[in-house]
Amino acid sequence: MRYLPLTDTDREDMLARIGVPDVDALFSDVPAGKLLTAPLDLPRTKGELEVERIMARMAGRNVAASSVPFFVGAGAYKHHVPATVDHLIQRSEFLTSYTPYQPEIAQGTLQYLFEFQTQVAALTGMEVANASMYDGSTGTGEAVLMAHRVTKRRKAVLSGGLHPHYAEVVRTLSEMANDAVVSLPPDVSANEDILSQIDDETSCVVVQNPDVFGNLRDLTPIAAKAQAHGALLIAVFTEIVSLGAIVPPGAMGADIVVGEGQSIGNALNFGGPYVGLFAAKSKYIRQMPGRLCGETVDSTGQRGFVLTLSTREQHIRRDKATSNICTNSGLCVLAFTIHMTLLGQAGLSRLAEVNHANAVKLADMLAGVKGVTVLNASFFNEFTVKLGKPAAAVVEALAAKGILAGVPVSRLLPKAGLDDLLLVASTEINTDEDRAAFVAALAEVL
């Protein structure tokens, strides 16, 4: 087996050195009758060529985003990732290293974490950011728990514009911990009355911007009302590229900002791995979940970086920890921070501008299709259209024509009476030909 260096002679020599007759003697603590004697009913070792063929066959059954006109978003976005990113993240010293427990031989990881934290803080307009969560949805769950610790209250209010999967993750976690959650109904037009839900028992208000329907929201009044009642505003985003174009949540008074970083540097990957971004006001750092990287000096005074404030974490605090998270999204962080370094603010602003321009073009074209209404007053690179027909069937019909048109709202919110709504995203990848093909096919299908 190509991955195993020991030869049979080595094995015999080593068993002799250990002083046991065979390897099963080392498994003597396995209870009687529980040590397997027969091989498991699975195929035998395969060579690289054969494995590659098997995997390629399965991969070939899926329609890749880059092979068709592609407009699917709703929390994961197809963007162009520079070739440099994927080359660099595959360097052995990054790919095969671990959590930087030994900082003297992990300054590479630690420095990019420090740079990443700085980038995320700048993008979100917040004072501090951590070294990542698993993804935006689990990060949102952690943000709610953090708000509960800060406020010593146990009730979260979720906007109806929050991604339904995110809301479900929060509800699952809260139900398990016996915390209260008020989930507002789906808010297609961003006109819900969330302010009246905030009272003196509210721990936090969770609002997404741009929301899951693509609307842009002013969070300022929500922050003001929440803070007047001693509650926190948790601002969520699923499209980090939007922050190149819109007012960042920090500037609107958010206490915690959490969201999905997949759009920068990371592939779609059918939903994972992604990277959760998590930022907050600095007065709350001791209640933050996850790893934090901090600057310090070595014994000669040279600048260096270490994981810090680890007394918040599970390996020290155990059942009193701020979270159970251990492994996070290191390599996805690296992809994010390299891509963001390549972009800089100049590139990010331009990228955001192109995304918005493409979405506006598409929205205007779709609005010209008979039976289609664009519902959003404002949007960034995603918006909601009303089709007058069940969107799921329309999407299937378009897929059959080789166009991946978007996400039917009913897929995220079944039985909500929103079956004729479609979420459509457009990024820099879309060409005029893509848009023309989409609009023509949609006109045929409707």
Partner 1 sequence: MLNRQGRPTQSSAAATEQHATFTGNKALQQIEPLIFEIGHHETTGVDIDAPAPFKSRLGKHARKGEIGLPGLSEPETMRHYVRLSQKNYGIDTGLFPLGSCTMKHNARLNEKTARMPGFSDVHPLQPVSTVPGALEVMLELSHYLMTLTGMPAVALSPKAGAHGEACGMMAIKAAIAAKGEGATRTVVLVPESAHGTNPATAALIGFSVRSVPARDDGTVAVEDVKALLGPDIAAIMLTNPNTCGIFEPQIVEIAAAMHEAGAYFYCDGANFNAIVGKARPGDLGVDAMHINLHKTFSTPHGGGGPGAGPVVLSERLAPYAPVPFIHVEAGTPRLVENAADAPPGNVPFGRMTAFHGQMGMYVRALTYMLSHGADGMKQASEDAVLNANYIRAGLSDLMSLPFPDHPSMHEALFDDEWLKGTGVSTLDFAKAMIDEGYHPMTVYFPLVVHGAMLIEPTESESKASLDLFIATLRDLAMAAKGNDKERFTAAPHHAPIRRLDETRAARQPVLKWVKPAPVAEAAE
Residues 70-99 touching partner 1, rule: CB under 8 A, are 70, 72, 74-76, 78, 82, 84, 86, 88-99
Among 21, 152, 176, 370, contact with partner 1 (rule: CB under 8 A) = 176
Q: What are the DSSP calls for 155-220, one per residue?
A: EEEE-TTS-HHHHHHHHHHHHHTT-EEEEPPP-TTS----GGG--TTEEEEEEESS-TTS-----H
Q: What angle do CA 207, 213, 232 make, to 5 degrees?
A: 0
Question: Residue 99: how many CB atoms within 10 A of its CB?
Answer: 14
Between CA 293 and CA 23 the distance in angstroms is 43
Closer residue to partner 1 in complex, CB, 65/440: 65
What DSSP state is assigned to residue 262?
Answer: T
Among 221, 344, 368, 371, contact with partner 1 (rule: CB under 8 A) = 344
Which H or E run contains 355?
helix 330-367
Structure tokens at 103: 């900082």
Q: Is 346 in the site for partner 1 (CB under 8 A)?
A: yes
Q: Is 291 in the site for partner 1 (CB under 8 A)?
A: yes
How far is Cα of residue 85 from the mean position of the Cα atoms in its chain?
18
Q: Which of residues 133-172 bind partner 1 (CB under 8 A)?
A: 134-138, 145, 163, 165-166, 168-169, 171-172
Between CA 443 and CA 142 the distance in angstroms is 43
Stretch that binds partner 1, among 189-197, 200-208, 223-231, 317-325 (CB under 8 A): 317-325
Q: Is 446 in the site for partner 1 (CB under 8 A)?
A: no
Shortest spacing between CB 272 and partner 1, in angstroms: 4
Closer residue to partner 1 in complex, CB, 331/440: 331
Stretch that binds partner 1, among 113-121, 182-190, 199-207, 221-229 (CB under 8 A): 113-121
Closer residue to partner 1 in complex, CB, 191/200: 191
Closer residue to partner 1 in complex, CB, 53/199: 53
Query: How far lies 217's CA from each of 22, 121, 212, 236, 317, in Å?
Result: 68, 20, 11, 11, 38
Q: Report the Cα–Cα distance between both ends of the chain, in Å, rounded.
A: 56
Q: Is 436 in the site for partner 1 (CB under 8 A)?
A: no
Q: Is 182 in the site for partner 1 (CB under 8 A)?
A: no
Say which residues have a Cβ less than 8 Å from residue 250's Cβ, sequence separation at least 6: 124, 125, 126, 127, 257, 279
Angle, helix 164-176 to helix 136-151, in steps of 10 degrees: 50
Stretch that binds partner 1, among 36-44, 182-190, 222-230, 438-446 (CB under 8 A): 36-44
Q: Is 329 in the site for partner 1 (CB under 8 A)?
A: yes
Among 228, 353, 368, 431, contact with partner 1 (rule: CB under 8 A) = 353
Q: Is 241 in the site for partner 1 (CB under 8 A)?
A: no
Binding mask 197-236 for partner 1 (x = CB under 8 A): -------------------xxx------------------
Q: Which of residues 246-285 bind partner 1 (CB under 8 A)?
A: 246-248, 260, 267-273, 275, 282, 285
Residue 185 backbone class (left: φ over 0; alpha: ψ -120 to 50; beta: rest): beta
Closer residue to partner 1 in complex, CB, 230/392: 392
Which H or E run contains 382?
strand 382-386
Between CA 413 and CA 160 the distance in angstroms is 11
Q: Is 180 in the site for partner 1 (CB under 8 A)?
A: no
Q: Side chain identity at 274, as an amino acid letter?
A: Y
Q: Is 191 in the site for partner 1 (CB under 8 A)?
A: no
136 by Cβ neighbours in 10 Å (0-12 / 13-18 / 19+) ranks as buried
Stretch that binds partner 1, among 189-197, 198-206, 330-338, 433-441 (CB under 8 A): 330-338
Closer residue to partner 1 in complex, CB, 199/251: 251
Between CA 444 and CA 312 the distance in angstroms is 57
Shortest spacing between CB 201 and partner 1, in angstroms: 19
Closer residue to partner 1 in complex, CB, 96/200: 96
Q: Is 441 in the site for partner 1 (CB under 8 A)?
A: no
Among 330, 366, 391, 419, contact with partner 1 (rule: CB under 8 A) = 330
Q: Which of residues 376-435 bind partner 1 (CB under 8 A)?
A: 376-380, 395-396, 399, 404, 407, 411-412, 414-415, 428
Residue bearing tokens 């397997």: 36
Angle, helix 432-445 to helix 330-367, in steps of 10 degrees: 60
